[in-house]
């Protein structure tokens, strides 16, 4: 059964492990989520489960939304996300089923997907880590500029520089996945999940938490050892 | 619950409850657990609390002492399991929250005056104060007559 929940980033703090090491921890309010729709291969072309998070008043929702969540016998939900499941596992997700932080029972590493903080229009030094240009040696008004973006000859025939050249532009406010974060604690009573390290986005931002799909090598070794 | 309340609730389980009441200017003994391989021993760091920072689980104190005529400052996270105990030895009379001026002091000037005796008792026992006031009042009346 894939362990997936929608959550809200509460904030960061630091805790002490049993060995007395001080570690940074992010607190995520994970769930409770409800199954709002089950997608089937016959009807939708693929097997998936849609879950909703945070009940809202019908007054602040829309009629289509009320109807959609009403089919599952639920009040309208603020956030919806879906995840794929295997055809034989669909039975585990009846409409309206409540998923709590208990789904992460026995899960050691999770991926957290969120929307990063928006930084606005940024230059290449902040956005891509370019070094900029000399402070002196005759440099004028170009201290933070990218330098050359190559000639048109590098992409002959188009009359333009190559595609994908890193330039200034909008930074942040895009989907980011923080992979293989260790789960430090679970609090079923308050629906809290504590993970090691930072997760994308600002506090109160909505995140999707899932069991780590592909561990980093060092973490995979850790998981194997235990 | 607000965001901060949730964070505080999570931290609460990790907070120490047996910490003494510390204030700036106190002379303290900090017992630090030192792990050397499999052995564990306790080292005592004695000095004056010159600064306090942070709150909750991130609360830190800076302790200053003089070793071989050289000032040594160590910053201790109060709630760390590596700090076994903290004892307050003396209470100094200070008027600032950060005693960085002690860094420039040499010799006898480094020492802090002791907190005035009895001042704390007066505040913690308001009943007694009221009693004494009443006594004074009656005495005053007697004089007038």
Question: How much of chain A exceeds pLDDT 90, in percent?
Answer: 46
The first and second tokens of residue B18, run together, are 């047996």
- Which among A6, A10, A7, A54 is positioned nearest to A203, based on CA atoms? A10
Least confident of B19-23, B90-94, B115-119, B126-130: B126-130
B4 vs A: CB within 8 A:
yes
Contact call for residues A144 and A125 (beta carbons, < 8 A): yes
Does residue A121 surpass a pLDDT of 90?
yes
Cα separation, A156 vs A23, whole angstroms: 52
User: Which of these CATH numbers, 2.40.30.10, 1.20.20.10, 2.30.40.10, 2.60.40.10, describes A4-119+175-225?
Assistant: 2.40.30.10
Pairwise pLDDT comparison (B61 vs A91), residue with the higher score: B61
Return the pLDDT at B138.
59
Q: Which residues pair with B39 in a beta bridge?
A: B36
pLDDT confidence tier of residue B145, bands split at 50, 70 and 90: very low
Flag whether pLDDT at B84 surpasses 50.
yes
Domain ranges of chain A: 4-119+175-225, 123-171
Q: Which of A116, A87, A109, A115 is nearest to A3 (CA)?
A: A109
pLDDT in tens, A138-193: 988 999 999 888 877 777 778 788 888 899 999 999 999 999 999 988 888 889 99
Q: What is the pLDDT of residue A92?
A: 83
Which pLDDT belongs to residue A174? 93
Q: Which tokens is A6 given?
A: 């929608």
Residue B77 has its nearest CB partner, among A22, A187, A203, at: A22
B37's CB contacts (< 8 A; 6+ apart) are none
Which of left, alpha, beta for B8 (phi over 0: left; psi -120 to 50: alpha)?
alpha
Range B114-123, long-range pairs (CB < 8 A, 24+ positions):
B114/B90, B115/B25, B115/B91
Q: How far is CA B30 from CA B44, B81, B122, in A?
A: 5, 12, 29
pLDDT at A207 over 90: yes
Q: ipTM of this predicted complex?
A: 0.71
* Phi, psi at A162, each rounded to 5°: -60, 150
Respond yes or no on whether the N-terminal peptide bond of residue A32 is cis (omega within 30° of 0).
yes
Rounded average pLDDT over B136-143: 55
Q: Find which of B1, B2, B9, B10 to mutate to test the A interface (most A CBs within 10 Å of its CB).
A: B10
What are the chain B neighbours of A29 within 8 Å (beta carbons)?
6
Is the pLDDT at B144 greater than 50? The verdict is no
How far is A118 from A175, CA to CA, in rounded Å? 11
- Nearest Cα of chain A lies from the Cα of B122 at a distance, in angstroms, of 39
Question: pLDDT higher for A130 or A18?
Answer: A130
pTM: 0.78
Is the pLDDT assigned to residue B64 strictly greater than 80? yes
Q: Which helix (H) or strand (E) holds A59?
A: none
Flag whether pLDDT at A17 surpasses 80.
yes
User: Using CB atoms, which residue from A13, A16, A204 is nearest to B81?
Assistant: A16
Average pLDDT on B74-82 reads: 91
Per-residue pLDDT band at B132 (split at 50, 70, 90) = low
Partners of residue A114 on adjacent β-strands = A176
Q: Mean pLDDT across the stretch B86-98?
A: 88
Among candidate residues A188, A134, A181, the one with its CA nearest the CA of residue A26: A181
* Residue A24 contacts B, CB cutoff 8 Å: no
3-state class (DSSP) for residue B36? strand
Which of these ranges, A65-69, A167-171, A219-223, B51-55, has the smallest mean pLDDT?
A219-223
DSSP A116: P
From the candidates A7, A8, A10, A186, which should be mutated to test the interface with B, based on the most B CB atoms within 10 A?
A10
Q: Which of residues B124 and B80 earns the better pLDDT score?
A: B80
DSSP for residue A156? T
Cα separations (Å) of A209 from A153, B49, B116, B130?
46, 43, 57, 61
* pLDDT at B120 (0 to 100): 57
Integer Cα distance of A17 and A23 in angstroms: 7
Please state the rounded mean pLDDT for residues A91-118.
88
Look at residue A137 in the predicted model and tell me its pLDDT.
92
Q: What is the DSSP string of A168-205?
A: SEEES-SEEEEEEEEEEEEETTTTEEEEES--SS-TT-
Domains along the sequence of chain B with CATH: 3-112 (2.30.30.790)
| CA geometry: angle B69, B70, B76, nearest 5 deg | 130
pLDDT at B38 over 50: yes
Measured between alpha carbons, how far is B96 from B103 in angstroms, rounded to an integer?
Answer: 14
Mean pLDDT score across all residues of chain B: 81
What mean pLDDT comes out for the span A86-114?
Answer: 87
């Amino acid at each position: 059964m894939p362990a997936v929940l929608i959550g809200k980033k509460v904030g960061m703090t630091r805790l002490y492990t049993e060995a007395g090491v001080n570690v940074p921890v992010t607190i995520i309010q994970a769930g409770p989520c409800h199954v709002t729709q089950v997608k089937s291969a016959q009807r939708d072309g693929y097997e998936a489960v849609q879950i909703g998070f945070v009940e809202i008043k019908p007054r602040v929702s829309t009629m289509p939304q009320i109807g959609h969540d009403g089919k599952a016998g639920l009040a309208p939900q603020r956030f919806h996300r879906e995840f794929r499941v295997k055809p034989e596992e669909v039975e585990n997700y009846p409409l309206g089923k409540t998923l709590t932080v208990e789904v992460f029972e026995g899960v050691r590493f999770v991926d957290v997907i969120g929307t990063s903080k928006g930084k606005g229009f940024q230059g290449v030094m902040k956005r891509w880590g370019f070094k900029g240009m000399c402070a002196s040696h005759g440099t004028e008004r170009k201290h933070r500029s990218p330098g050359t973006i190559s000639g048109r000859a590098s992409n002959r025939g188009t009359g333009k520089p190559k595609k994908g050249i890193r330039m200034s532009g909008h930074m942040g406010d895009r989907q980011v996945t923080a992979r293989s974060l260790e789960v430090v604690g679970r609090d079923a009573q308050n629906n809290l999940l504590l993970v090691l390290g930072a997760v994308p986005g600002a506090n109160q931002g909505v995140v999707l938490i899932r069991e780590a799909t592909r561990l980093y090598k060092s973490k995979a070794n850790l998981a194997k050892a235990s | 619950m607000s965001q901060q309340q949730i964070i505080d609730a999570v931290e609460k389980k990790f907070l120490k409850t047996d910490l003494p009441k510390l204030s700036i200017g106190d002379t303290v003994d900090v017992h630090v657990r030192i792990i050397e391989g499999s052995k564990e021993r306790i080292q005592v760091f004695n000095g004056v609390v010159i600064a306090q920072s942070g709150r909750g689980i991130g609360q830190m104190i800076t302790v200053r002492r003089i070793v071989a005529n050289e000032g040594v400052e160590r910053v201790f996270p109060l709630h760390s399991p590596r700090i076994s105990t903290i004892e307050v030895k003396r209470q100094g009379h200070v008027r600032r929250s950060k005693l960085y001026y002690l860094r420039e002091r040499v010799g006898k000037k480094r020492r802090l005056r002791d907190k005035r005796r009895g001042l704390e008792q007066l505040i913690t026992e308001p009943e007694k104060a009221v009693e004494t006031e009443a006594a004074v009042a009656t005495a005053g009346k007697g004089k007038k007559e």
